[in-house]
Structure 1
Amino acid sequence: MSVLRSGSPHRPARTTATAAGVFLSLLSLLALLALLLGLAGTAGAADVRRAPEPRHPDQDWAGSQIARHEGTVAGGASPAAPLASVEGVDVSSHNGSVSWSTLWSSGVRFAYVKATESTSYTNPSFAQQYNGSYGAGMIRGAYHFATPDTSSGAAQAAYFTGHGGGWSRDGRTLPGALDMEYNPYGSTCYGLSPAALVSWMKDWFATYKARTGRDAVLYTSTNWWKQCTGNSAAFGAVNPLWIPRYGSSVGELPAGWDFHTLWQYTSSGPTVGDHNRFNGTADRLKALANG
């Protein structure tokens, strides 16, 4: 009997302790589960915030944002062509399949074709446009629509040269062109400082030259250039200028250039594509192609 009396007080105590332990363990597991669910929800919210806005590279071409931000001359006649000039066009996927014979008959003798944007987009109409212009007898070149906030200048130049932006000394291929204009996806200057943008372009141009042996053309407007690069004069001595301005004259040039090489004078010509003029004779255009 004494054994039973001495042992009986301890059994309820052990049972109570065991139940309490199980209860605390369950509470700990529930707390851990709630914490994990909370972290998952936070991560999901962060992913949503970091997700890039939808891209529309088929709607981006040389001048698409210039016309939007700087306007066009509605209904105005094309400016009178100087004697020493050559007519050209630039096209991209939004132009679809181009009738190059029609353009040739209208006097167009050169073409720039959008090849790439960032490091993930290639123009689905590139082959028809790039090879078609060449087949019609034109001198042709390719251009890259820059998005400096998505990847480095070197990465985008490498992608461009690997997807249509190369160059060959055949007398009919112009050096590639870098399209720098208003950001179609957000901040005008891509969220970069003037120094960072200049550095990005230097990276792009150096990589392009290393891969092709040519100094590329720069497409930009004076207004954007002033706003986003602080009117840098870093490229004028080396890179030919292709300037968009939809009026009766080229107007003020960005710092560093004493003259323009190409002028995009209308964003909606009488035939397909934006219309351009080479500032010189046909022989000088061939010289640009030959390097």
Structure 2
Amino acid sequence: MSRTAPFRRLFGLAVLVSVMLGWGQASAETKQAPPSLDHIVWLQGSTARLNPIVAFLKEQMPGIRHEPLDTNAVRSWQMIQRGEPACRPSTVRTRAREAEAYFADTLLALPPELVLRRDKLNLLPRDAEGAADLGRLLEQKRLRGAYARGRSFGDMIDALLAAQQKNKNPMLADYATVAWGDRMRDMLAKDRTDYLIDAPGALAQLQKLGLAAEDYVSLPIHGATEPLVLGIACPRNPWGRVAIQAIDQALGTPAGAARLREITKDWLDAAGRERLAPQLEQFFQRRSKPLNPG
């Protein structure tokens, strides 16, 4: 063997290591270069009025162009899933959605309720406290149910509904509606369904439709007792991470917490605020600082 062979091998190895280190450094630099954030599309149920949280962020982030886009719940979440440079300003935070989006917490909401035609009350399975047993109701297939497609009602209820859709329960319908499902109450009023899964306050909305509230009853759902955490959702990609961090920094101040507290007064009635008083106080204390969104 030539005496120079070991040196050639060592030289070749050194070159290879150098190339690999250079590639690694370039790769690290590429990963470290964050996308620019100069424009956010806000996916709203209706752009007739700018979402109040978006209005606050527009004040706090003047260097960014804020563009509201009118879209329904289904399409808006599809845009998040595709990784488009857009965010939803009001989304229920669940484990399933955290796998697809980054979140910055904004509000608390009361757990969903079941709104039922009163003449069907005798067919509704209930627990010992009188809450609607949604699991048994879906299994029995005696009443027609409906909910707005693309909305989330929390981990437990979402799992029940997903299982029913997978098994093609003929007594449960999901509808893609304009906005976030505001017209679902028409389904109940026109006797096209016996019950809705809806947010608290649905009875008041029925009254606004000119319907007699006494013809309907609103009940808590067994197992759905914890308040829902709402937040801004941005795609789980590099752009979404930059966007959600900037959004969380803007919200995570005493002024941000104070504005969200004011917005809560429109979001929850006095009874709802009283019911959630301890949780709301803790939430706003945490929200007065950045929350390390994820």
Q: Which has the larger radius of gyration?
A: 1
Higher fraction of helix: 2
Q: TM-score, normalized by length of structure 2?
A: 0.28
- TM-score, normalised via structure 1 length: 0.28
Larger relative contact order (Cα-Cα within 8 Å, sequence gap ≥ 6): 2
